[in-house]
Amino acid sequence: FKYQWLDDFLVYINELKKTVPNLVICGDYNICHQAIDIHNPKSNANTSGFLPEERAWMSTFFESGFVDAFRHFNKEPHHY
């Protein structure tokens, strides 16, 4: 995985959650998690920010208990 910093970051924030249970992480990771998060998923399938390994990392991030606050309230496509 060429984005080692993402794995390192996930380890760091998961450790931090142990002492800060209401942890809020803000930022733009420049990764579109799902097809609804990008204008044209087919033509961007091999584009940085929508690569399978990046999207898989986002899945792991959310599975560890974090929530995409925007997508939580905006489930429709083409809202970015």
How does pLDDT run across 53-68, given as a tens digit for each residue?
Answer: 999 999 999 999 999 9
The residue type found at 15 is E
Query: Catalytic residue numbers?
Result: 28
Query: CA separation (Å) from 57 to 9, 19, 66, 76?
Result: 11, 23, 12, 22
Give the per-residue pLDDT at 1. 55
Q: What is the DSSP letter of 65?
A: T
Q: Judge whether residue 80 has pLDDT over 90.
A: no
Q: Give the residue, 78 or 7, on which the prediction is more confident.
A: 7
- What is the per-residue pLDDT across 36-54, written as a single tens digit (0 to 9) for each? 999 999 999 999 999 999 9
Q: Report helix angle 4-19 to 52-63, nearest 10.
A: 10
SS3 80: coil
pTM summary value:
0.87
Give the per-residue pLDDT at 9. 95
